[in-house]
DNA sequence: CTGGATATTTACAACGTTATACAGGCACGT
DNA sequence: ACGTGCCTGTATAACGTTGTAAATATCCAG
C-alpha cells in the first residue's frame, strides 16, 4: 500500500500537519523536528499523493500542448522545447495532436480532450475566432502562430510575412525571377496565408509576377503534398526558377520531384523552405530555410501560460519570436558554405 | 466557479449520490430520474472533477510515454500511434523524453518525473536490469524494445536480430561483400547490440568478414552521428560496398557524406537503414529500410499497460511486433521500384 | 517569576468524488 | 396479511492533502 502523511505522522509521533509542513518546507519548523520527520519520511519512502494535492489546491502541475501533428519534425522539436521549458518550472506536459482539423482544435480548446490541466498551449491551423468566443473553460490558453483574432489570449509567433519576404528577397538577390509558392493550403490556414502574402508583397515590390499560376495549394503539409504540388506546377508547363515552400517537408518533397525530372537544384530551380528542420541539413542538396527560434517559442509559450495562471491577468500579448534565414546549397549551390542572415 | 455534484444535486432536488449514479451510468436509476438529473447537468454545464475522481478511485486516466527523443521521426510517429491507441480507451498520454540517458530513464521508471499516471510505457536505451529491481512504484510498466531482462515487465519489440539479418541478407543477395555497420552506440544500448549481432551472424554465415574495422560506434543516433561515422570509415581507408545503419537518420547522414565524397549510392555503396521514417522516401536517393509496424507497437503497448492495470496480473509477456524490409533506390538503384519483402 | 509576544505544533474542516450500508417502496407467493 | 426479495434512492464516510484558527511551547524584558 502507498504510504500517506498519516502513516508518516504515526511513525514520527507527530501530527499530520507537521509532516505536511516539513514536506512543503514551511518555515516555522524547528530543525530538530524537521530532521525527525524527515527520517520517518525516508524510512517509509513517503511520496505525496498528487491527486489529493490537486483536489485541495486546484492545480495539477500539468499543461497541455496540442499540435497539428507530431510526424513533422518541426512540431516534434517544438514539443521537446516546451517539455524542457515546462520542466524548468516543475510542470509536466500532456501532448495531444489535432491533425490540424478544426473540429479537433475546437474540442481541445474547450478542454474536452484533456481535463486535468492548468493551462493549454494550442497551435491551431483551422480554428476560427468564433470558435473561441464561447470558450467556457477558465484554463489559460496560449496560441502558437499569428492570428488576427481580437481575443484575450496570448499569441506567440514569428513575423510570418516578414520572414516570407526575407526568403523571397534572398531568391531575388540571387537573380531568380519566377518564384513559385508551394503549400497555400486548401481551406483555411492563417499561417499559410501570411506566408503567401509575404511572398506576394516581395515579388510585387520587385515588379515581378505573383499570379495564381505560381501558387500551388495542397491538402496537407507533408513531403508527399510538396511532391504533388511540384508535379502539378511542372505539368502545367511552367518552369519557375525558384520555389518557396510553406515548410521544409514540402520543399524536400518538391526537390525529390525535381531530381526525378532531371532538374538541378539550385542551377535550374532554387528552393527555400521554412522551419529549418534537421532533415534539411542532410539531403543530397542541403536546404535553405527560414529558421524560427523554436526554443524561444517553447519557452515563451510556457511562461505565458504560467503567468496567467499565477492569478494575475496581464494584458493579452502578441509575442514575436526571432527567426533567421539560413542559406544552404538549395539556393547557393555546392560552392556556397552555410551562413545565416540575421532576422 | 466550477459546478460540482453538489450544485447539480441541489438544482435537481436529489441527493449527490443520485447525480453521481447518473453520471456514471449506474443501472438502477429510473428513466424519469435519469432524465431529470441529466437536465440539471446540462443546465449547469457540469463536468466531473478528475482530481477528485482520481483521489477517490485511484485512477487518473493518464498513461505516460517516455521516449529517448522526439526529434527522431520514428519516435514521433510512435508517439502518435500511442496517443491514438490510448484515446481509443479514453486514456490520455503524458509525453516525456529521456535523451536516452540512463539517469533520466531511471527517474522516469521510478516515477519521479510524472506522478499522476496509471501506467508507463518506456523506451529505454541505457537502462540496466538492476535499475528496475528496486522499483518501488506499483504503476504498471511496459518496455519498448527487446531486453534480456528477467523482470516481470512486458516487452513489446520486433525481433531485432532477425530484422538485422534480413537487411544484411538483402545486401548480400545483391552481391555486396563488405558490409559496414554504422551506429553501434558507444556505451550501452541493447538494441544496437542486437542489430550488430544480426549483422555479424548473417555475414559470418555467408563466410564474409565482420571485423571491428567495419563497425563504427557513435555518440548519438542523429544524422550528424551517421555522417561522422561514415567519415571515419572512409578516412580509415576502407571502401565498403554496403552500409547497414542502426537507423534511417544515420543512414541519411552517411549518404550525405557519400555524396560529398563523390561516391554513388547504390552503385558504389548500397545503404540500408532502419525505422522506415517518411524522410527516407523523399531524398535524392530513396532509402531501403527495415520497417517496424509502429501502429501495432503503439497499440500493443497501450493494451499491455491497460491489461495490467485491470487488476489482473497476467504473466509478463514478450510481444513481437511485425516488420518488413522495404527495398528502395539506396540498394536497388533508380531502376528498382519500391517493393516490400514480408517479414 | 510573570506577562506578553513570538515561535511551533495541532485539530479540524474542507476540496469533489464514489463505496458502503441502509431505508423505503413495491411486487409476489403463500 | 405477511414475510421475502428486488429495485431506487439516500446519508455518511472515506480518499490524502492543505488552509485556518486555535492551542501550546518558548523566549525575553521587567
SS3 per residue for B207-224: CCCCCHHHEEEECCCCHH
What pLDDT is recorded for position B339?
A: 45
**Cβ-based contacts with strand D at under 7 Å:** A 2, 4-6, 16-17, 20, 23-24, 46, 48-49, 52-53, 55-57; B 14-18, 21, 27-30, 32-33, 52, 55-56
CB B255 to CB A93 under 8 A? Answer: no
Q: What is the DSSP pairing of strand A141-144 with strand A119-122?
A: parallel
User: Nucleotide C14: nearest residue by CA–C1'?
Assistant: A56
- pLDDT > 90: percent of chain B: 66
CB B282 to CB A76 under 8 A? Answer: no
What pLDDT is recorded for position A342?
A: 44
pTM, two decimal places:
0.86
- pLDDT > 70: percent of chain B: 94
Report chain C positions within 7 A of protein CB atoms: 7-12, 14-20
Q: Sorting pLDDT into bands at 50, 70 and 90, what band is B293? A: very high
CB B71 to CB A69 under 8 A? Answer: no
DSSP annotation of B321 = P
What pLDDT is recorded for position B342?
A: 44
3-class SS letters over B99-123 = CCCHHHHHHHHCCCCCCCCCEEEEC
| Burial of A4 from C-beta contacts in 10 A (0-12 / 13-18 / 19+) | middle
**Average per-residue pLDDT for chain B:** 90
Residues in chain A within 8 Å Cβ distance of B78: none
Cell 547497414 belongs to residue: B244
Residue B227 main-chain phi, psi, to 5 deg: -65, -45
Is the CB of residue A48 less than 8 Å from the CB of residue B42? no
C-alpha cell belonging to residue A7: 502513516
Cis bond before residue B266 (omega within 30° of 0): yes
CB B253 to CB A282 under 8 A? Answer: yes
pLDDT in tens, chain A (343 residues): 689 999 999 999 999 999 999 999 988 899 999 999 999 999 999 999 988 998 998 888 889 999 998 889 999 999 999 999 998 888 888 888 898 889 999 989 888 777 788 999 999 988 888 888 877 667 889 999 877 777 888 999 999 999 999 999 999 999 999 999 999 777 677 889 999 999 999 999 999 989 989 999 998 899 999 999 999 999 999 999 999 999 999 999 999 999 999 999 999 999 999 999 999 999 999 999 999 999 999 999 999 998 887 666 677 888 999 999 999 999 999 864 444 444 4
What pLDDT is recorded for position A310?
A: 67
Protein CA A84 to sugar C1' C8 (Å): 39
Report chain D positions within 7 A of protein CB atoms: 7-12, 14-20
- Give the gap in angstroms from C-alpha A108 to the nearest C-alpha of chain B: 12
What pLDDT is recorded for position A187?
A: 66
What pLDDT is recorded for position B139?
A: 83
Mean local confidence (pLDDT), B215-221: 92
Query: For chain B, how many helices (H) and strands (E)?
Result: 13, 13
Read off the pLDDT of residues B13-63 as tens digits, 9 standing for 90 and up: 999 999 999 999 988 899 999 999 999 999 999 989 988 998 998 888 889
**In whole angstroms, what is the distance from residue A204 CA to residue A117 CA?**
46
Closest chain B residue to the Cα of A277, Cα to Cα: B71
Is the CB of residue B341 less than 8 Å from the CB of residue B320? no
Question: How many CB atoms lie under 10 A from the CB of residue A110?
Answer: 14
**In whole angstroms, what is the distance from residue B300 CA to residue B297 CA?**
5
**In whole angstroms, what is the distance from residue A236 CA to residue A163 CA?**
28
- Give the gap in angstroms from C-alpha B71 to the nearest C-alpha of chain A: 5
DSSP letter string, B165-217: HHHHHHHHHTT---EEEEEEESS--HHHHHHHHHHHHHHHHTT----GGGEEE
- Give the gap in angstroms from C-alpha B215 to the nearest C-alpha of chain A: 22
Task: Give the domains, in start order, of chain A with CATH numbers.
Answer: 5-48 (1.10.260.40), 62-157+294-312 (3.40.50.2300), 160-292+325-341 (3.40.50.2300)
pLDDT at B337 over 50: no
pLDDT at B308 over 90: no
- Residue A154 DSSP SS3: strand
Query: For chain A, how many helices (H) and strands (E)?
Result: 13, 13
Amino acid at each position: 500500500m502507498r504510504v500517506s502523511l498519516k502513516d508518516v505522522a504515526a511513525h514520527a509521533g507527530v501530527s499530520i500537519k507537521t509532516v505536511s509542513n516539513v514536506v512543503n518546507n514551511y518555515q516555522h519548523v524547528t530543525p530538530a523536528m524537521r530532521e525527525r520527520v524527515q527520517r520517518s519520511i525516508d524510512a517509509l519512502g513517503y511520496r505525496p499523493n498528487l491527486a489529493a494535492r490537486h483536489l485541495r489546491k486546484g492545480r495539477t502541475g500539468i499543461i497541455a500542448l496540442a499540435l497539428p501533428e507530431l510526424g513533422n519534425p518541426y512540431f516534434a522539436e517544438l514539443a521537446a522545447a516546451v517539455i524542457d521549458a515546462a520542466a524548468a518550472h516543475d510542470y509536466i506536459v500532456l501532448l495531444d495532436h489535432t491533425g490540424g482539423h478544426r473540429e479537433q482544435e475546437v474540442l481541445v480548446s474547450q478542454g474536452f480532450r484533456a481535463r486535468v490541466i492548468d493551462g493549454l498551449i494550442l497551435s491551431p491551423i483551422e480554428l476560427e475566432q468564433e470558435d473561441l468566443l464561447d470558450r467556457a473553460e477558465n484554463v489559460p490558453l496560449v496560441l502558437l502562430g499569428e492570428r488576427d483574432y481580437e481575443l484575450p489570449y496570448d499569441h506567440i509567433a514569428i513575423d510570418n510575412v516578414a520572414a516570407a519576404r526575407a526568403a523571397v528577397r534572398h531568391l531575388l538577390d540571387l537573380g531568380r525571377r519566377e518564384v513559385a509558392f508551394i503549400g497555400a493550403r486548401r481551406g483555411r490556414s492563417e499561417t499559410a496565408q501570411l506566408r503567401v502574402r509575404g511572398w506576394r508583397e516581395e515579388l510585387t515590390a520587385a515588379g515581378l509576377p505573383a499570379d495564381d499560376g505560381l501558387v500551388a495549394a495542397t491538402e496537407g503539409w507533408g513531403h508527399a503534398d510538396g511532391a504533388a504540388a511540384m508535379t502539378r506546377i511542372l505539368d502545367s508547363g511552367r518552369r519557375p526558377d525558384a520555389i518557396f515552400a510553406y515548410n521544409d517537408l514540402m520543399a524536400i518533397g518538391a526537390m525529390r520531384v525535381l531530381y526525378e525530372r532531371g532538374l538541378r537544384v539550385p542551377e535550374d530551380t532554387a528552393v527555400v523552405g521554412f522551419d529549418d528542420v534537421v532533415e534539411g541539413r542532410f539531403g543530397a542538396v542541403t536546404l535553405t530555410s527560414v529558421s524560427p527560434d523554436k526554443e524561444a517559442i517553447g519557452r515563451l509559450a510556457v511562461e505565458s501560460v504560467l503567468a496567467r495562471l499565477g492569478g494575475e491577468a496581464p494584458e493579452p500579448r502578441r509575442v514575436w519570436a526571432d527567426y533567421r534565414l539560413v542559406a544552404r546549397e538549395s539556393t547557393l549551390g555546392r560552392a556556397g558554405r552555410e551562413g545565416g542572415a540575421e532576422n
